[in-house]
Structures are given as structure tokens and as C-alpha cells.
Chains A and B, each alone.
Chain A
Amino acid sequence: MEYFKSGLKSVLGAPPPGTQITGAETVEKLVSRVSTSTLLEDRRDACRALKAMSKQYRLEVGAQGMDILRQVLELDRNDCEITGYCLDALCNITSKEVFEDENQSNMNMAVNVGEQFSEMFLKNQENVSLVLSFLDEYDFRVRWPAVKLLTSLTTCKLKEIQDIILVSPMGVSKLMDLLSDNREVIRNDALLLLINLTKSNANIQKIVAFENAFDKLLNIITEEGYTDGGIVVEDCLLLMLNLLKNNTSNINFFKEGSYIQKLAPMFILPDNLEEVGWSPQKISNFHCVLQLVRTLVSPNNPAQIITSCQKTLRDAGLLESLCNILMASGVPADILTETINTVAEVIRGNLTNQEFFANVLAPSNPPRPALVVLIMSMVNEKQPFALRCAVLYCFECFLYKNEIGQDLVVQTLLPSSTGNTTVTAGQLLCSGLFSNDSLSNWFSAVALSHCLIENPAQKEQLLRVLLATNLGAQPVTLLNQCGVFLQHTSKLQAKLGILMLLSMWMAHCPAAVKIFLNVPGAMAFLTAQTSASEFDNNEELLQGLCAFIMGLCVLFNDNTVQNYSKENLSQLIEKRVCIETYCKKLNEISRHEVYAKAAKQPQIKAKHSSELLLEFEFCKLFKVMEGLIIQALGVQRDLSNGISELSLSEHENALLLQYKELIRDQDKKLQDLQRKFNHLQKECNDLQTQVEELQQTNTQLVDQNTLLKVQLSTANTSHVTNIIHEVKSMSPESAEPYPVFIHGNNDLLLDRIKKLEADNERLEKVESELAEKTSELESYQRDQDDLLELLTAQDTKLNKFKERLRQLGALSRSDESSSDLSDNDNDRDSGPSLL
């Protein structure tokens, strides 16, 4: 501290003796020195001092000096030394960590000072561009603090700086270039910066990948000696993980760029590993590589990506290497666990990979399938919990969409396979199912249930499995034993496991339901659990599951068991449990947090064994079946709550019948009237067309008439005058030769007149006929009006009757429309037979 103070003295000049200057005052002086000095050396010294004070007097330096430091960065950027001091000072100011020698007064503040200053610094986007531009400077004194400053900013305000860097031209490219820096400090710090920057930002992840990140990182990993390398390898792997997690585009790029093949050397364990042992760093590195593989084939990815990555992993020999690690000795437990999880996801739903896995043999004597060895660990109480969970997950993934695998496991349980003395997967599961360890019970039950998923044939096959319980006693079926065990065990976890197995078994399998219904006491147990009104500590799950199994018994009942037919069971639920209680119990499952957790992902994720209660595939089944069960029971419920004849007294019943009769009569009448109306309407239409036709002919005739009249008049006048004219013109000369001609002409005219008169007469007759027709039409229209009136009267009467019916409560709301009435009648008529 003394040295520091003397340094300050040299910068500021000695203070007048006797006065104690505070840190704030010193900072103030330094800041003014930086802003007013004309000599670069002076400014540089002041900046160095500010940097030195920026930890202890962070608040003062930040509050007074941030602007001036930024200014120096712009104005003195050609001098690497002063730029370095400024960047260092800014880095300290914006750092999130609390420094050891920082002023106590600052410590009391609730807000993080570094975060506040980061926010202030980021308010101006230009500042980030400025810092980014210093990355171009090769000088170590500038480039390194610039990287550190950016890192410090990302730890405080990640989202903001991500957005700024995305829009800065070449922002990400500059950062990527740092990975090629031959000074390891810069390269390693750039790695940390990139790890921060790529967190949950798909756009930056893609640009980083585009800038050859995978090539660069894999080169570094190779140089550092793969998983034997130091923490840098871990950082490289972490960055790769960030780039790939939930980023389909980058996973595709990773696969297409043949980077999966480049991972292969990391999975080959050296021969002398047992002597050398696993260093903590090697364990961390290995853990990351396994995570990397899992990210590629995570069940959350699109199916197409998963399948192609699985194929590539197999072809590149990675699956084989992973299986070798499974069977190797001396592998630390957590690595082994994660390897099992990785193998699980590499084979999940991929038949070729599943077959490969089924054929892997453990190096034991005699060689056993790896699958059997793994299941041995699962039902072994002494194995670590996480490992046992991983084995179950691996087994589930082996069976996922794998009918051959399901068959393989069930086959080992069937009587035909006796004589074989080796331990089989099926035997291990069966003994685990009824062992004293409730976790083994749960694991085995879930494992067995996965043999049955979407596989009706195996459900039937498993029914044939017989168990020898006591020496000399009759062998019992597996299902029967499950039903008995369910009632005898006191452990919740075991019960839930068995119930989940049963539900998977009985869904869509009437034969299984039949056997279960015949298990003594089974139904009574379910009824008691479902109708229980109190529960403690996750017992609501047990009650819900019992309700669920009862529902499955109703749904998949083939009515072959006496006393437990579909109707019997629904009555049981209705009368003993009450439908509301039943639905509440059923809902209890999906509302439980355990359900939400289990339904999230296929992998079993639990920190403690007591958390294992429900399982992913069961949740899927429950989701589908819940609705169907409620629907199946709902039909019955409507009848019992509605207007069933049984629920009415005799008097009411008679009244109801009376009204039904009435409604039926009215309905008939209504239909009759409708028919009549239709008929009349048709007639009316016909008449209308007739009238139109008549009118048409009428106008035609009128036209003809006028034409004729005109013709007549012209013929009468012009003709005669013409003749007279002719006669006159002729007469002076010689009238003699023409009289005969005139006479003849006269005759012709007379004839024509007569004909016209007859025409006139005919016209008059047609006119009178027309009048007659019109009056007829009018009378028809009157008739029609009358009928319509009658119809409305009937309608109102009908409504009145309905009103009266409703008052009697016999009509439900949905029966408003009269046409529905008849339908309802039919429903009600068929009602009693259902009950």
C-alpha cells in the first residue's frame, strides 16, 4: 500500500503535509489530469493510476472516470499502453466479482456495482463496437484486456451484448479469429468469451459454426491430446456443446461436415488406463464428450436428425467404442453411468443399433450378454442409484419401437425355455419384481411394462408366464402374483410400479383384464383405495392409479367374468365410489408434480430413490386413456343424472307417458299439415303457371284482334275508294265492260266482312273465359291463406303444450326443437335396456 501511495504521489505531486486526501479526491484529480493533460505521458501515467485504483475505489473510478476512459480509447487508440490501461480499468469496473480489497462501504449496497456499470457502458452500442475494434490490434497489451472486458460484460449483461454483437459488422468473425491466436492466454480467454456468448442464442451459435468453429476446436483438442488434455479441452467441448444443444441446423452441419468421425479417437481407452487411472480433468473431459454425443441423438431432436446421427455414430465405430467402455474395468462410476445413458440414446428406436447392442457380450466367464449384466446391476441394491436409473433407461431405449427386443425378453420367461441354466433378463426382472427392495420392484415393473408397449402379442404371451411361489404349491400366473403382491406389499414405490405394469398390460388386452378380475381381493383393494377419502404423502398417486386400473377394467372388459361385467363395474364406481370422487382421484395423477416431471422426458431424472414414482411411458398411456375412461363412464352418468324412467315415481311416470303420447299425436298432426301444405303449394304453383300461359295467349289474341281490325278498316275504305276511283276514271270513256268486275269484287268484300265478324265473336268468348279463370285463381289463393292461418294456430298450441311439459320438468333443455322430440323419445325408449 505504501508503494502504491508513493506511486500516487509521483503522479499527483506530494500533498500538502498534514492533510489526508480521500480516495474519491484522488480519483477526481486523476480524472481531471487525464482530460486536461496535453502530454501523452501524463495521460498515460494518470490512466495507469486509475487502473490501479479501479479495484479498491471501483465506485469512484466508475462514476467519475468511465466517460473519460472511453474518450481516451477513442483519441489515444494508437498508443497501445494507454489503451491497455483503460481497457483494464474498465474491465475491473464492470466485473461482476467483488474484489478482496474493495471498499467496505460498497459491500453494503444491495445492487451489484459491476452490473450497474456494465449496463451504463452498454447503453451506448458504439462502446461495444469500439472494444471489438481493439481485437484487430495484435499487441498483447490491447488484445488481451479487450477480450477480458468483453467477457466481463457478458457475465453481467449477456442478452444485451449478444444483441449488439449480432448487429456489429464482423463482430462474431473477429472473435472467431482469436481462436487462431498463437498466444494461448488470448486463445483460452476467447474460448471462455465464446462459451458465454453462445449461451441460448441460436443465431450466434450458427454464425460461430459457420466460421469453422468445429474445425478450429477439434484442432485444439487434437493438439492438446484429446481427453488427456487440460481444461482447455473441456472448454472446447463446452463450446461445441453450446453450439449443438437444441440447434438442429448446427447438428445437421456437424453431421454433414463429418465431425462425428473426428470424435472417434476420444472414445478409445488406452490399454494402460488401469495403471494410469482417471485424473479429475480426464473425467470432466470425458463427461463433456459423452454429453456431446447425447446432444446429437437427444430424444428432443427431430426424428430424422436422430436417425441419421445414430447411423453415423454406428458407422464411425462410436457405438462399439461406447459398448467397450461399458464393459471395461476401472471406469469411474459417474462416467460409467453417463456412458450407459449415452449408449441408451444412441440405440433408442434404431433397430440396427438395438440389435448391435443385444449382441454385445461381457468379458465374463462364461460370456454373458451385456444386457443381462446391466440388469443384474439394476436389481442390485448395492449399486449406486444413478447407475441403476441409467440401466433402466438403457433397457427402455433398447425396447423402444423394438418388437424383436420385446419378444426376446418375454421369451426368456416362457415355460418352453426351461432346461437353460444361464441367467436371463426375464428371470432377473421377475425376481426383482417381487424382491424385498422396493426400488428393484419399481425398476423391474417399469422394465417389464416396456416389453408390452404397443405390442398386443407380448401382452398375450406374458399371460402365459407361470411362477412357482412355494415348494409343492400350484404355480400361479405372473399377473395373478402381481395382483397378490399389490395387496401384500406395504411400500408405496412397489405398489406404484406394479400398478403401472398392470395398466400397461391391461390396456387394450381383455384377456389380461379377465385374469386380473379373477384375482381374489383385487377389486376390493382397488375399490377401497379409490373410495378412500384421506391420504398422506403421495398416497393420492396410489389412489389415482387404482382408479385408473378400475377404469381400464371397464374399458377393456369382454363381459366374461361373472359379477364384474362392464355394467357391474360402472355401477360399482357409481354407487360405491361416486362418480365425482372417481374423477377427482383420476385427476389427482395428472395434477401431481411427479407426473409433470416424469412426463417431461424419457430419461429417468431423480436425485433420490424416493422421487421415483411415475414413469414417462406410463404418463403417455395415462394421457390417452384418461379421456376414454371418463367418456365410457360418462355415458352411464348421463343416464343416471338425467331423466331415467327409474328415477321417477309411478305417478310422474304415467304423466310422462301421457305427455309423450300427446307429443307423438301432435307430431303426427304436424306432419300431416305439412304434407297438405306442400300439396297445396304445388297446386298453387301449377295454377300460377296456367294463368301465365293464359295471359300470354290472351295478349296474343288481342294483338291479332287489333291487326284484323286495322286490316278490316283499310280493306273497307281504301278498297272501296280505290274501286270507286277506278270506276270513276273509267266511266267517262266507257262504263260498259266493267260492271261485272265490280260486282265480283263486292262479293269478295262481303265475304271477308262476314269472316271478320266471326273472328270478333270468337275473341269475345276467349275474353270471358279468361275472366272466369282469374276468379278461380283468386279463390285458390284465399284457400291457401286460410290454411296458413290454421298452421300458425297449431304451432302456438304446440308451444303451449311444450311449455306445460317443461313446467312439469319433463323436458330437458336440449329438447327445444320439436323435430328433436321424436329422437329423444327413441332414446328414452331404449334407456331401460341399458340400465
Chain B
Amino acid sequence: MSYAYLFKYIIIGDTGVGKSCLLLQFTDKRFQPVHDLTIGVEFGARMITIDSKQIKLQIWDTAGQEAFRSITRSYYRGAAGALLVYDITRRETFNHLTTWLDDARQHSNSNMVIMLIGNKSDLESRREVKKEEGEAFAREHGLVFMETSAKTAANVEEAFINTAKEIYEKIQEGVFDINNEANGIKIGPQHSPTNPSLPGAGGSGGSQGSACC
């Protein structure tokens, strides 16, 4: 499958905030109300278009539980983008954001784009964290902010795509060294001379491609 760029994402945040559901909504466009606890890390992928360029997103959905924290740390370094998720109906998940942010900043490359996400915006009646608080936190720490609902799919596309846009802009500005794969960015096969495109390669992810916006 041909793409101009490949971005690696990670999704982090407390357990039960809806990380796996966000990924499922983004890659499969469906919502699963009962989801098993993520063990370690799970993988998902989708193609998007930015600036009429095909961009492949490879997303690693991490386990939120404390027990897996040391494992998930291994994924920070190689990621170009991170979605930091909290649950707007549970105050403590918002309170833990600083810990997550410190962890991410410490282990990732300094250019990693972090998007703050307040999930479960469909549960307005049970809201414990005001939208303004999320905005303030994001402003204070230099993050992009958005409220989403993995259930209704509200803002889910936007969250992933806006993060990609931000990374794309950084590439254009020359902030990212795109030749260093440790940054979580890869140039597509047709853009690099060492990898001639293979016959039949176009059909490999056909189902995935058709699902793109």
C-alpha cells in the first residue's frame, strides 16, 4: 500500500478511560460497550489523507493499569504522536494527567505531539470535569485539546487527524528528522529509492483503504 508518510501513535491514560474504544472507533468505526482489559499493548492501523497526501497511521493502544506502566514506557521513544486520554466523568483520571505527562515527556523524543483528550462527552449528566478545566490544562502544558465520545464517534476522527496535521506541519517546518526512524515517522516506499513498489502491493490493504475518509 502506497503512502507518503507513516506516523506512529500511542494512546495513553488511566485504565477505563476508553483508549481501546477510541482506537476501535477510529479503525473499525464501531463501538464496543464491553471491552476486555488491554494486556500490554494492542496494535491498530488506518490510512488518512492530509494535504492530499496519503498518511498511514500505526497506533499502539497501551494498557492503562499501573502494572503495565513499565512495559508501556518502552513505546514512548518511537512514537511521533500521543493521545493522552482522561474520562470527563471521573475526576481522578484528570488528576493523574500530570503523572502521565511527566512520564511521556521523560521517555519520548522532545518533538512528540501530544493531544489531550477528554473522552465520554456523551455522558454529560455524569460530567465531573468541566471542559474549561481541560482547556486550561492543555494551554498550561502546551497540548492540543479536544473532547470526544468513542460511543457516538464525536470528534474521534478529528482527534487522530488533527494530531497527524500537527506532526505534518512539524515535518514541513523541518523540526522532525524524518530519516531517523526512532522519531516514529517513516517516508513511504515510493518516496525512497531503495524500495521499488512491488507488484500487487496496492491490493494488500484494500479494505483498510476503502474505509478511509
Residues of A within 8 A of B (CB): 166-167, 169-173, 202-203, 206-207, 210-212, 215, 249-250, 252-253, 255-258, 260-262, 264, 308, 311-312, 315-317
Contacts and interface: CB of A to CB of B under 8 A. Distances in A.
B92 interface: no
Contact of A308 (B41, B58, B198, B207): B207
A258 B77 contact: no
Contacts of A262: 198
Contact of B198 (A166, A212, A316): A316
Contacts of B107: 169-170
B198 A169 contact: no
18 contacts: A166-B71, A167-B71, A169-B107, A173-B74, A173-B77, A206-B40, A206-B41, A210-B60, A211-B78, A250-B43, A257-B58, A258-B189, A258-B204, A261-B198, A261-B200, A312-B205, A315-B204, A316-B204
Given A206-B41, A261-B200, A256 B71 contact: no
Given A207-B71, A253-B58, 18 more contacts: A166-B74, A167-B70, A202-B39, A203-B41, A206-B43, A212-B181, A249-B42, A253-B43, A255-B205, A256-B45, A256-B208, A257-B58, A258-B189, A258-B205, A261-B204, A312-B203, A315-B204, A316-B204
Given A169-B107, A203-B40, A207-B74, A316 B201 contact: yes
Nearest to A256: B45
B24 to A, nearest CB: 13
Interface in B56-86: 56, 58, 60, 70-71, 73-75, 77-78
Nearest to A318: B200
Contacts of A315: 200, 203-204, 206
Contacts of A170: 74, 77, 107
B199 interface: yes
Interface residues of B, number: 32
A643 B40 CA distance: 61
Chain B at the A interface: SS class: mixed
**Among A172, A215, A255, A315, residue most surrounded by chain B Cβ atoms (within 10 Å):** A315
Contacts of B44: 252
Given A210-B60, A210-B78, A256-B208, A249 B198 contact: no
Given A170-B74, A173-B74, A212-B181, A312 B204 contact: yes
A172 B198 CA distance: 31
A258 B74 contact: no
Contact of A258 (B1, B40, B75): B1
Interface of B: 1, 8, 39-45, 56, 58, 60, 70-71, 73-75, 77-78, 107, 181, 189, 198-201, 203-208
Nearest to A262: B198
A207 B206 CA distance: 27
A421 to B, nearest CB: 38
A315 B75 CA distance: 32
**Among A215, A250, A256, A315, residue most surrounded by chain B Cβ atoms (within 10 Å):** A256
B73 A169 contact: yes
Contacts of B189: 258
A257 B205 CA distance: 9
Nearest to A172: B74
B208 to A, nearest CB: 7
Contacts of B58: 253, 256-257
Contacts of B206: 315
Contacts of A256: 43, 45, 56, 58, 205, 208
Contacts of A211: 78
A215 B8 CA distance: 14
9 tightest Cβ-Cβ pairs between the two chains A and B: A315-B203, A256-B45, A167-B70, A249-B43, A261-B198, A207-B74, A203-B40, A253-B43, A261-B201
Given A207-B75, A252-B43, A316-B198, A215 B181 contact: yes
A800 to B, nearest CB: 57
Contact of B40 (A172, A202, A212, A215): A202
Contacts of B8: 210
Nearest to A203: B40
A210 B42 CA distance: 11
A172 B73 CA distance: 11
Nearest to A260: B204
Nearest to B2: A258
A317 B1 CA distance: 14
A289 to B, nearest CB: 16
Contacts of B207: 308
Contacts of A252: 43-45
Contacts of A172: 74
Nearest to B3: A258
A249 B204 contact: no
B199 A317 contact: yes
B61 to A, nearest CB: 9
Contacts of B40: 202-203, 206
B200 A317 contact: yes
B193 to A, nearest CB: 14
Nearest to A212: B181
Nearest to A218: B195
Contacts of A167: 70-71
B71 to A, nearest CB: 5
Contact of A264 (B42, B75, B198, B203): B198
Contacts of A255: 204-205
Contacts of A173: 74, 77-78
Nearest to A254: B43
A212 B204 contact: no
A116 to B, nearest CB: 28
Contacts of B77: 170, 173
B82 to A, nearest CB: 14
A212 B58 CA distance: 12
A308 B70 CA distance: 32
A316 B205 CA distance: 11
A288 to B, nearest CB: 21
A308 B204 CA distance: 9
A203 B74 CA distance: 10
B28 to A, nearest CB: 10
A316 B43 contact: no
A316 B70 contact: no
B46 to A, nearest CB: 9
Nearest to B79: A210
B189 to A, nearest CB: 8
A210 B75 contact: yes
A248 to B, nearest CB: 9
A210 B205 contact: no
A210 B74 contact: yes
Contacts of B42: 249
B199 to A, nearest CB: 6
A253 B39 CA distance: 17
A449 to B, nearest CB: 35
A249 B181 contact: no
A211 B204 CA distance: 23
A624 to B, nearest CB: 29
Contacts of B204: 255, 258, 260-261, 312, 315-316
A316 B43 CA distance: 22
B41 A171 contact: no
**Among B43, B70, B201, residue most surrounded by chain A Cβ atoms (within 10 Å):** B43
B141 to A, nearest CB: 22
A253 B205 CA distance: 12
A733 to B, nearest CB: 87
